[in-house]
Amino acid sequence: MPDFADKVAVVTGGGRGIGRAVALLAARRGWRVCLSYVSDAGAAEAVVAAIAAEGGQAEAVRADVGDEADIGTLFAAADRLGTVAGLVNNAGVVDVAARLDAMEAPRLHRMMATNVVGSLLCAREAVRRMSTRHGGRGGGIVNLSSVAARLGGAGQYVDYAASKGAIDSFTRGLAREVAEEGIRVNAVAPGIIDTEIHASGGQPDRARALAPQIPMRRPGTAEEIAGPVVWLLSEEAAYTTGAILEVTGGR
């Protein structure tokens, strides 16, 4: 991927947690950042302000990746910021721990609409801009998977795990589909990371409670995921595509 002077990275869910860490690090590495958020405008604008304070350029856009029209709005804003050359499909949802026999259809539809369909639609928009087939200059896509795709989430989150299994398949397939068009597609699969997502699933202390099950005996940080994500967008990963990089503390 050429190193554009005006290269833009679209980071979905970039206001908090892993997305926030990715947005900040990408900006430090020379990317202009267009980040999406759904409800916490204050957190998203704080990321934009932090990037601006360090001399970078960023814009926050309210966009639910479960809504195709919102995705269009997000990428239109990215186009105004510069040349879209990176996409980090970070936005995702989890729900309260439950067995499958206690789950209802609305939960499952929400999970797949955000975690799977939203990622595919964002990648579609990125490919339309990056692919040499469409007159683009190449780029990189990094999807956020999860170790849950391998472990299965039994008794708690089989729906979330299934959504991340879909992300793994999608990553491998799209990587092969666009490999000759200047686009690399990879995924990072975090293990237990200490972010706000656990609170949204009703278990704010989950990361620390699971520490004894992790070989390193601690949860990871958002910054420890951001590093591999931004590396996969960089020229240092120029021959890497279709990879799913587990960052799990050995889990």
Residue 169 burial class via C-beta count within 10 angstroms: exposed 0-12, middle 13-18, buried 19 and up: exposed
Helices 68-81 and 118-130, packing angle to 10 deg = 30
- Measured CA to CA in angstroms, residue 222 lies from 20, 139, 171, 194, 227 at distances of 8, 23, 21, 7, 9
> Rounded to whole angstroms, how far apart are CA atoms 184 and 178?
7
Choice among 37, 157, 160, 239 that is catalytic: 160
Residue type, 180: E
Q: 10 Å Cβ neighbour count for 223?
A: 14
Is 37 a catalytic site residue?
A: no
Q: Point out the residues that are catalytic.
A: 160
